[in-house]
């Protein structure tokens, strides 16, 4: 939460500076609403996590397109998790899930005068996920032997919202890097008569009313047309 508050404060300060400037060039309809390029990327942290976290498998890809200072953002991913718990008494539990998710929303850039078109942004996302999960409990009794129960949910739908903030920086030519911090909230899931959902792909554990997420993106920009000239100049 502290990171989100700091970034919001910085965004408000930058916004104040932007409105304190005089627009000396009238932006045309083409400048305001015609995209100049599309960025395609992937989350490096999700890829790395496949190698150091045995319980996680997944990936995420993203894209955004600019409309002046506003960016339409789309993200799509897949993840699965597998938790195994065993003890010396013979009791064990095995939870696994698998699903896909997507997010869509808008980012607002507050670096209006940067000639490199780097981004410091605040945004909002709407997320959806469809997933299946299984929970197997096994217990060993001296009299009755091994007892097992299996619970499952199939094709569960879930939705949530996110507040986002972060930076995207042009490293050279077509290659960009950046991070996105996410404050996730408002999770709702469909009916599950067998058991309560435990982990939602794209969101996380369901026993939390809100959840923090973090992505580190590697991106490639495909240009569509030249950027319009910067049009802001300080008042005299």
The domain segmentation of the chain, as residue ranges, is 2-19+40-227
Partners of 73 in the beta sheet?
Answer: 64, 105
- pLDDT of 29 reads 63
Residue 15 or residue 114, greater confidence: 114
Q: What is the pLDDT of residues 8-61, one digit of tens each?
A: 545 444 444 444 444 445 667 666 778 889 999 999 999 999 999 999 999 999
* Spacing of C-alpha 150 from chain mean position: 32
Q: What is the pLDDT of residues 97-113, one digit of tens each?
A: 999 999 999 999 999 88
147 vs 219: CA distance, rounded Å: 50
For domain 2-19+40-227, the CATH class is mainly beta
- pLDDT of 10 reads 52
Q: pLDDT at residue 78 above 80?
A: yes
Phi, psi (5° rounding) for residue 180? -130, 120
- pLDDT of 208 reads 86
Tokens representing 147 are: 């007892």
Judging by DSSP bridges, how do beta strands 175-189 and 70-86 pair with one another? unpaired
Q: What is the pLDDT of residues 137-171, one digit of tens each?
A: 888 766 666 788 899 999 999 999 999 999 999 99
Residue 183 or residue 226, greater confidence: 183
Task: Please state the three-class secondary structure of the chain as a single string.
Answer: CHHHHHHHHHHHHHHHHHHCEEECCCCCHHHHHCCCEEEEEEEHHHHHHHHHCCCEEEEEEEEEEEECCEEEEEEEEEEEEEEEEECCCCCEEEEEEEEEEEEEEEEEECCCCCCCCCEEEEEEEEEEEEEEEEEEEEEEECCCEEEEEEEEEEEEEEEEEEEEEEEEEEEECCEEEEEEEEEEEEEEECCCCCCCCCEECCCEECCCCEEEEEEEEEEEEEECCCCCCCCEEECC
Tokens representing 189 are: 């899931």
Q: What is the pLDDT of residues 81-92, one digit of tens each?
A: 998 887 766 678
Cβ neighbours for 47, distance < 8 A, ≥ 6 positions apart: 59
Q: pLDDT at residue 234 above 60?
A: no
- pLDDT of 236 reads 46
- pLDDT of 7 reads 52
- pLDDT of 23 reads 45
Q: What is the pLDDT of residues 178-213, one digit of tens each?
A: 999 999 999 999 988 889 999 999 999 998 889 899
The pTM score is 0.83
Tokens representing 73 are: 């953002």
CB 47 within 8 A of CB 81: no
- pLDDT of 31 reads 67
41 vs 178: CA distance, rounded Å: 10
């Amino acid at each position: 939460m502290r990171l989100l508050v700091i970034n919001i404060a910085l965004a408000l300060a930058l916004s104040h500076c932007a409105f304190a400037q005089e627009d000396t060039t009238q932006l045309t309809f083409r400048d305001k609403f015609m995209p100049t390029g599309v960025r395609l990327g992937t989350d490096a942290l999700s890829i790395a996590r496949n190698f150091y976290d045995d319980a996680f498998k997944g990936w995420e890809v993203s894209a955004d397109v600019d409309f002046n200072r506003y960016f339409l953002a789309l993200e799509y991913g897949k993840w699965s998790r597998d938790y195994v718990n065993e003890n010396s008494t013979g009791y064990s539990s095995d939870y696994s899930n698998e699903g896909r998710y997507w997010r869509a929303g808008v980012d607002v850039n507050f670096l209006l005068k940067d000639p490199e078109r780097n981004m410091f942004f605040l945004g909002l996302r709407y997320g959806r996920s469809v997933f299946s999960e299984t929970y197997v409990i096994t217990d060993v009794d001296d009299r009755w032997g091994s007892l097992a129960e299996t619970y499952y949910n199939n094709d569960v739908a879930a939705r949530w919202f996110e507040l986002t903030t972060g930076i995207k920086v042009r490293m050279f030519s077509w290659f960009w890097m950046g991070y996105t911090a996410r404050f996730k909230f408002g999770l709702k899931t469909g009916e599950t008569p067998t058991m309560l959902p435990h982990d939602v792909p794209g969101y996380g554990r369901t026993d939390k009313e809100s959840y923090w997420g973090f992505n580190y993106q590697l991106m490639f920009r495909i240009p569509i047309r030249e950027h319009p000239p910067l049009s802001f100049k300080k008042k005299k």
